Amino acid sequence: PVFPQPILYSYFRSSCSWRVRIALALKSIDYETIPINLIKDGGQQFSEEFQALNPMKQVPALKIDGITIAQSLAIIEYLEETRPTPRLLPQDPKKRAQVRMISDVITSGIQPLQNLSVLKQVGQENQLTWAQKAIRSGFNALEQVLWSTAGKYCVGDEVSPPPVFLCHRFKVDLTPYPTISRINKTLMALEAFQVSHPCRQPDTPPELRA
Amino acid sequence: PVFPQPILYSYFRSSCSWRVRIALALKSIDYETIPINLIKDGGQQFSEEFQALNPMKQVPALKIDGITIAQSLAIIEYLEETRPTPRLLPQDPKKRAQVRMISDVITSGIQPLQNLSVLKQVGQENQLTWAQKAIRSGFNALEQVLWSTAGKYCVGDEVSPPPVFLCHRFKVDLTPYPTISRINKTLMALEAFQVSHPCRQPDTPPELRA
């Protein structure tokens, strides 16, 4: 069967959505964006229509080849298996393990603690401290891991699923993390990172565009 | 080079450690266990020696083929790539995507919110409610995902990295999750799940042994 162009359900400032947009851009896969605003209307991810599509009630979700996949890393692995070039994972299994370890540290060690619903539970006055603590503790580990794995990028000199996420709004000082900062800067110079950037999405509000 | 037997740094009741023990058992890989007690001595995962091994200060970590891999799903993917039989992931990329999506929901949607350090931050009196909320919200999603993916196991009829984790101590009623309960029961009957069980590890305290 011939499937229509993939559809990405995405929110401009969601880090996990950005991760998938980067992978799609690196692989030059054309897709349509359907914005899901996580704040508007009490959160559009909670609509019945979207829940039917992704019971996790989260973005991103990618409709592709007749199925819908949720969870950014599962999506990226699927793209890698079905559209292998250019590759997003190194060829060497040991390096692949390192890429996955780094990605998992971010998606299961840092990000879950600072998503909207958790921050809401933590309460307005504690949010910043809570999020900063999670980010610092994750970055301390990540910086140390990168000492032994990094080349130009996180693992050697090949671009891999990026450890990018939007921590700017939590005002964490990045000075103690020179390796993370350097790699982030190098990645941000790549076109795939620029076109997929939160400030350049169909649902980016005019005042945040760049 | 010939590498020595793999070493698993593990804690008997850590769900992520159990997940890796199951994978090792399913693939009949012999390994040595070095127990890391997450509670004793203020948490043995915080020792300098262990931090040097795994900067994430978490179990499991697997020393294998000359490298150390942390994060349960990264470890399982590495085992699958280097010891492909018996397979832990289906052959069809779409089914593989579903397995990974389900695993990611658990490791990044549910577990991070109930690990020890987070519960400590939440405070003694709020812990149970907090953990129950995370588990119920994750299980609601998971149950719905499984309606469309499950056969005998989570995705079709092949065993895959199991969505097992130890939620018993948070006293969540599993009645609303018939599919999760059924699959869990089916998995628990398998030998690989029994030998790797928390109640049968080198570091299981006598009073919890079975």
What does the domain layout of chain B look like in residue ranges? 7-86, 93-193
- Name the residue facing A78 among B55, B97, B130 (closest C-beta): B97
Taking 90 as the threshold, does the pLDDT of residue B82 lie above it? yes
Q: Look up residue A134 and give its DSSP letter.
A: H
Q: Which residues of B touch A (CB under 8 A)?
A: 55-58, 65-67, 69-71, 73-75, 77-78, 81-82, 93-94, 96-98, 100-101, 103-105, 107-109, 111-113, 118, 121, 130, 133, 140-142, 144-145
Q: In what order do the strands lie in the sheet with B61-64?
A: B32-35, B7-10, B61-64, B67-70
Res B101 pLDDT > 70 = yes
pLDDT in tens, A117-139: 788 888 888 888 888 888 888 89
Q: What angle do CA A46, A51, A57 make, to 5 degrees?
A: 60
User: Residues B22, B201: contact at Cβ < 8 Å?
Assistant: no
Nearest-CA residue of chain A relative to B130? A121
Residue that the structure tokens 């009490």 belong to: A42
Q: Are B149 and B102 in contact (CB under 8 A)?
A: yes
Q: Are B158 and B165 in contact (CB under 8 A)?
A: no
Per-residue pLDDT, averaged over B150-167, amounts to: 77
From A202, A177, A190, select the one nearest A110 (Cα to Cα).
A177
**Chain segment B128-154, per-residue pLDDT in tens:** 888 888 888 889 999 999 999 999 989
Q: Which residues of A touch B (CB under 8 A)?
A: 55-58, 65-67, 69-71, 73-75, 77-78, 81-82, 93-94, 96-98, 100-101, 103-105, 107-109, 111-113, 118, 121, 130, 133, 140-142, 144-145
Going A81 to A82 to A83 to A84, the CA torsion angle's sign is positive
Check pLDDT > 90 for residue A114. Answer: no
Q: Name residue, tokens 């300098």.
A: B48
Q: What is residue B70's three-state secondary structure?
A: strand
- Rg of the Cα atoms in chain B: 17
Residue A160 pLDDT exceeds 80 = no
Alpha-carbon span A1 to B142, nearest angstrom: 29
CATH code linked to domain B93-193: 1.20.1050.10
Reported confidence tier of residue B106, pLDDT bands at 50, 70, 90: confident
Q: Answer whether B31's CB lies under 8 Å from B5's CB.
A: yes
Asked if residue B15 has pLDDT above 80, the reply is yes
As beta bridge partners, residue B64 has B67
Amino acid residing at A119 = L
Please list every residue in chain A whose beta carbon sits closer than 8 Å to the beta carbon of residue B97: 67, 69, 74-75, 77-78
What is the average pLDDT value for chain B, to the nearest integer?
A: 90
Between the alpha carbon of residue B130 and those of residues A118, A205, B126, B139, the distances in Å are 10, 34, 6, 14
Q: Is the pLDDT of residue A191 over 80?
A: yes
Question: What is the CATH architecture of A7-86?
Answer: 3-Layer(aba) Sandwich (3.40)
How many angstroms separate the CA of residue B97 from the nearest CA in chain A?
A: 6
- The yes-or-no verdict on residue B163 having pLDDT over 70 is no
pLDDT at position A74, please?
Answer: 95
Query: Measured between beta carbons, which residues in chain A are less than 8 angstroms from residue B100?
Result: 71, 73-74, 77-78
Tens digit of each residue's pLDDT (9 = 90 or more) over A56-90: 999 999 999 999 999 999 999 999 999 999 999 99
Tell me what pLDDT residue B200 has.
95
Mean pLDDT of B69-86: 95
Indicate the average pLDDT of chain A: 90
Q: How many CB atoms lie within 10 A of CB A210?
A: 8
Lowest mean pLDDT among A64-68, B104-108, B170-174: B170-174
- CB atoms closer than 10 angstroms to residue A17: 28
What is the complex's ipTM, to 2 decimals?
0.92
Residue with tokens 């997940």: B19
Average pLDDT over every residue of A167-174: 74
Chain-chain contact of A105 with B57 (C-beta, under 8 angstroms): no
pLDDT of residue A173: 86
Give the pLDDT band of residue B164 (cuts 50, 70, 90).
low
List of chain A residues whose C-beta atoms are within 8 Å of the C-beta of residue B94: 65-67, 78
Closest CB from B77, B111, B141 relative to A100 = B77
Determine the average pLDDT of the residues in B171-195. Answer: 89
Nearest CA in chain B to A107: B108
How many helices, marked H, and strands, marked E, lie in chain A? Answer: 8, 4
Alpha-carbon distance B86 to B4, whole Å? 22
C-alpha distance from A152 to closest chain B C-alpha (Å): 21
Q: What is the pLDDT of residue B85?
A: 94
- Percent of chain B at pLDDT > 90 equals 60
- Cα A89–A190–A159 angle (5° rounding)? 15
Choose among B45, B63, B49, B54: nearest CA to B7: B63
CA distances from A154 to A88, A182, B5 (A): 12, 10, 28
| Separation between Cα atoms, residue B123 and residue B130, nearest integer Å | 10
With beta carbons under 8 A apart, name residues in chain A contacting B67: 94, 97-98
User: The sheet that has A32-35: what strands, in order across it?
Assistant: A32-35, A7-10, A61-64, A67-70
Mean pLDDT, rounded, for A90-107: 93
